Amino acid sequence: MAMVENILKAIGKTPLVRLNKMVPEGAAEVWAKAEFLNPGGSVKERMALHIIEKAEREGVLKPGGTIIENSSGNTGVGIAMVAALKGYKVTITISDKMSAEKVNLLKAFGAKVVICPANVPAESPLSYYETAKRLVKETPGAFFLNQYHNPENIEAHYRWTGPEIWEETGGKFDAFVAGIGTGGTLSGIGRFIKEKNPNIKVIAVDPVGSVFYTYFKTGKLPTPHAYKVEGVGEDMLVKAMDFSVVDDIIQVNDRECFFTARRLAREEGLFAGGSSGGAVFAALKVAEELGAGKRVITLLPDSGNRYLSKVFSDEWMRDNGFLEDEPRLGRVRDILAIRKHKVITVGTKDIVHKVIDKMKRYDISQLPVVENGKLVGMIREVDLLNYMVTGRHRISEPIEVIVEKNIETISPEASISTLSEKFVAGQDTAVVVVDQGKIAGLVSKIDLIDYLAKKFKD
């Protein structure tokens, strides 16, 4: 690339890189658009720059103003990078599911970061969507990028990324495969492709737990549940997602995303994130279906350096049950198989005295708290005690104000050693086992002791 007058001029013109080792014999060619090579490390810089400059032209964003946005991290970084050059203040709301690298990167660019809980519904006032909306109302001169519902998100890729891919390939490809989060990238590129050649397949990739796959297949909105992969999928429908350009959606799970991302680095030298792994996993499936002589284009949205503490950490992968080495003492699922107890839960709106009655009835000292099918925290005897001894509360009040949200969870695939470490490191007497966003069980210290005693006796 030639000399540029500022870093914003370096956005775009990312290379298409052919995958070699990972593509099975007899499959179609697979080429990956390396969007992680943008100066801020992701595809989102294109959209951020496009929307901000349009807002400037229209007078919506004034000099010295504040840009506010809810982001999974990448859009926030793109906004902060653009704002650094243009002199705007930036506030980004982000969920606590996102990696520490993303949070630190946002701060490095000068953004103010507001961290919000991930395990609440999108419409909750605590969600990072609604928090951003509230901050916009409270901040004079604020501009809300609104990436999830802004048609300019689609327009950015229709006018920029789509034509770029077309120029690089000469229009000679048979399928385009990419993940969907806000939907803007796939919708914009897909719209451009379909106008050029309606026969080219546009295939979206959605993680298990997101709503898009089921909605596309059935027209019904499912109940979303938690998943680990970042920057892809959603728990609500968004206006920046244009299903009319989509031929099919392929569903991927966390394991497929993460292991494919690790393979990309080790086999192809492409250091991209977990959502890139999901896109490539799906692209390889499409390549096998199409066969030799065809060509598949996919897109790698962001860099792997945002996930060094997660996807590329053996310890994190092991703690979350993704690494396959069979532990000497077994796995958490082995304890659940022996116990087979029904998990007793309460809701955030349940009344204090009824929760106390439930604890007495089942002779238990802690209960998982759920809201809309999702785990939101734990209620323990000590929480109830602290609540009542003040004398300022009534037992007819709901428990939502005393729910402990900072709780330990573990995958059923995690090792017994990992479970033991959680008990040793913390004060909790029980750990909630969560599988695909749903409560699979509750394991206490005595459950672990009993399991180990029987194992050593055998």
155, 140: one domain: no
The phi and psi torsions of 451 (rounded to 5 degrees) equal -60, -45
Tell me the C-alpha distance between 250 and 204, whole Å: 6
282, 237: one domain: yes
Residue 108: CATH number of its domain:
3.40.50.1100
* Residue 234 belongs to a domain: yes
Residue 140: both structure tokens together: 């004079």
168, 281: one domain: yes
C-alpha separations of 230 from 86, 214, 258, 424 in Å: 28, 19, 10, 29
How much is the pLDDT for 427? Answer: 59
Tell me the C-alpha distance between 118 and 377, whole Å: 12
How much is the pLDDT for 458? Answer: 63
381, 419: one domain: yes
359, 275: one domain: no
271, 331: one domain: no
185 CB-near residues (< 8 Å, 6+ apart): 43, 47, 157, 161, 178, 299, 301
297, 355: one domain: no
How much is the pLDDT for 98? Answer: 82
Cβ atoms of residues 378 and 408 within 8 Å: no
Domain boundary among 127, 144, 161: 144
| Active-site amino acid positions | 44
* Residue 95 belongs to a domain: yes
How much is the pLDDT for 326? Answer: 55
Domain boundary among 111, 144, 177: 144
* Residue 402 belongs to a domain: yes
Residue carrying the six token digits 């929760």: 355
Residue 377: CATH number of its domain:
3.10.580.10
- List the beta bridge partners of residue 110: none
User: Along the 458 residues of the chain, how does pLDDT read in single tens digits?
Assistant: 679 999 999 999 999 999 999 998 899 999 999 999 999 999 999 999 999 999 999 999 999 999 999 988 899 999 999 999 999 999 999 988 788 888 999 999 999 999 998 878 878 888 989 999 999 999 999 999 999 999 999 999 999 999 999 999 999 999 999 999 999 999 999 999 999 999 999 999 999 999 999 999 999 999 998 899 999 999 999 999 999 999 999 999 999 999 999 999 999 999 999 999 999 999 999 999 999 999 999 999 999 999 999 999 998 998 888 886 556 788 898 999 887 677 889 998 999 999 999 999 988 888 999 887 778 888 988 888 888 887 667 788 888 888 887 777 888 888 888 888 888 766 567 888 887 667 888 898 899 999 999 887 76
Tell me the C-alpha distance between 421 and 419, whole Å: 5
Tell me the C-alpha distance between 96 and 68, whole Å: 18
* Residue 273 belongs to a domain: yes
Provide the domain count of the chain: 3
Residue carrying the six token digits 């909630």: 432
* Residue 224 belongs to a domain: yes
* Residue 28 belongs to a domain: yes
How much is the pLDDT for 377? Answer: 86
Domain boundary among 254, 284, 316: 316
162, 266: one domain: yes
256 CB-near residues (< 8 Å, 6+ apart): 277, 278, 281
Full residue range of the structural domain in which residue 270 is found: 10-42+151-316
Tell me the C-alpha distance between 457 and 35, whole Å: 55
How much is the pLDDT for 94? Answer: 92
223, 299: one domain: yes
**Which amino acid is residue 81, in one-letter code?**
M
